[in-house]
Amino acid sequence: MKDLSELDVKGRRVLVRADLNVPLDGDVITDDGRIRASVPTIRELADKGARVVVCAHLGRPKGEPNPKYSLAPVARRLGELLGAEVAFATDVVGESAQGVVDALQDGQVALLENLRFEPGEESKDDARRAAFAEKLAALAEVYVGDGFGAVHRKHASVYDVPLLLSHAAGRLVTAEVEVLKKLTDDLARPYAVVLGGAKVSDKLGVIGNLLTKVDRLLIGGGMAYTFLAAQGYEVGQSLLQKDQLDQVRGFLNEAAKRGVELVLPVDVLAATEFAEDAEYEVVDATAIPADRQGLDIGPRSRELFASKLADARTVFWNGPMGVFEFEAFSGGTRAVAEALVQSEAFTVVGGGDSAAAVRKLGLPEDGFSHISTGGGASLEYLEGKTLPGLVALEA
């Protein structure tokens, strides 16, 4: 991939595909991590005299304008972080966008409205997607791909536009790829991976691929109950994907065959209901009462997981250990995060809920070697899949 420094951008309109898909409560941004991660590339381009046109998506508005998913609050926050006003276009490729872009001076920044307000952005029809891409590309002379969280999507702004313009990878994408290469090509061992989150089905490919590479695989979160059930244990009302039991048994067999240490919770917090103030008790993971559901790993599991991470040289973590949004059930996720902070390993937090948990729990972000901005993109890279956005940047 061409590096950002290789581009001549002074006085030129540069379209930056950023990842600004932040959580909102009304029009209040509750976690600005992705905006902050996008600032270095945008600032560098502006400092070099580019006329920076930022484009991004937010949420799933399904191809039509929806005020709930407007990027207007993001434009305000981006301006605060840059220390300069960010002009905001109220459409993507219409009159407002054209006017805002035409008015830009060297070193100024504009943000277009949500890309997903346009049906062509996510269209699976190549011609429809290409038609939108041409309109978007017409706003600029140069393209910089910096939205790592979207590079696994074959969307117009990610895949088609860079093929139409002189292009390079932004600082964020470059950094993310360098980190992922350390997790695949240049490993320091022991290599431990911690996977959590709700569903095994979301991580089938990555588990299968990781079993050929890791020394230890620690499973927590909702997906752990399908692993426990696959071994014949009662999981009560806990999250369970019955249709994945055979697949999980295959993983257990493969891990044993390859000598991979697969670590599951030994105790859990079994609650009476899925609620912040639910009553709960600590029970063995192999003896969850039929009328209760596991909402977090228990104290012995936290100690076990921390001990399995203590001597690791490389750690990748994706997915919380429990319902970390509920204070009573955040202890498992905190324990894993703190174990990584205390570790001397190369530690990577795989975006998504894991990155959100780090910030919500108030842990130091610089305590980790890298916090990814792209959960899905990171997982697909580790799964060995081809990522369309990276293919386009390499073209």
Average pLDDT value for residue range 35-45: 97
Give the pLDDT of residue 129: 97
Give the pLDDT of residue 352: 75
- Topology of the domain covering 4-174: Rossmann fold (3.40.50)
- State yes or no: 34 annotated in a binding site: yes
Burial class (CB in 10 A: 0-12, 13-18, 19+), 217: buried
- State yes or no: 302 annotated in a binding site: no
- State yes or no: 374 annotated in a binding site: no
Measured on CA atoms in the order 360, 362, 364, 368, is the torsion positive or negative? negative
Give the pLDDT of residue 199: 83
- Reported as a single tens digit per residue, the pLDDT across 87-133 is 999 999 999 999 999 999 999 999 999 999 999 999 999 999 999 99
Per-residue tokens: 31: 């976690």
- State yes or no: 57 annotated in a binding site: yes
Model's pTM, two decimal places? 0.87
Give the pLDDT of residue 374: 81
Average pLDDT value for residue range 257-266: 97
Q: Where are the domains of the chain?
A: 4-174, 184-383
- State yes or no: 20 annotated in a binding site: yes
pLDDT at 188 over 80: yes
Percent of the chain residues past pLDDT 70, beyond the cut: 100
DSSP line for 213-245: T-SEEEE-STTHHHHHHHTT---TTS---GGGH
Q: Report the distance separating Cα 170 and Cα 44, nearest Å.
A: 10
- State yes or no: 325 annotated in a binding site: yes
Q: Report the distance separating Cα 352 and Cα 373, nearest Å.
A: 7
pLDDT at 315 over 90: yes
- Topology of the domain covering 184-383: Rossmann fold (3.40.50)
Q: Which residues belong to the active site?
A: 34, 199, 352, 376
- State yes or no: 243 annotated in a binding site: no
Identical fold at 4-174 and 184-383?
Answer: yes
Q: Report the distance separating Cα 157 and Cα 56, nearest Å.
A: 8
Q: Report the distance separating Cα 10 and Cα 20, nearest Å.
A: 25
Give the pLDDT of residue 375: 78
Q: Where are the alpha helices (DSSP H) in 288-330?
A: 299-309
Give the pLDDT of residue 379: 87
Q: Report the distance separating Cα 184 and Cα 394, nearest Å.
A: 19
- State yes or no: 196 annotated in a binding site: no
Sorting pLDDT into bands at 50, 70 and 90, what band is 364?
Answer: confident
Give the pLDDT of residue 383: 85
Average pLDDT value for residue range 345-357: 86
CB 51 within 8 A of CB 11: yes
Q: What share of the chain is helix, strand, coil (3-state, %, to 5)?
A: 45, 15, 40
pLDDT at 231 over 90: yes
- State yes or no: 360 annotated in a binding site: no
- Reported as a single tens digit per residue, the pLDDT across 195-227 is 998 888 888 888 998 999 999 999 999 999 999
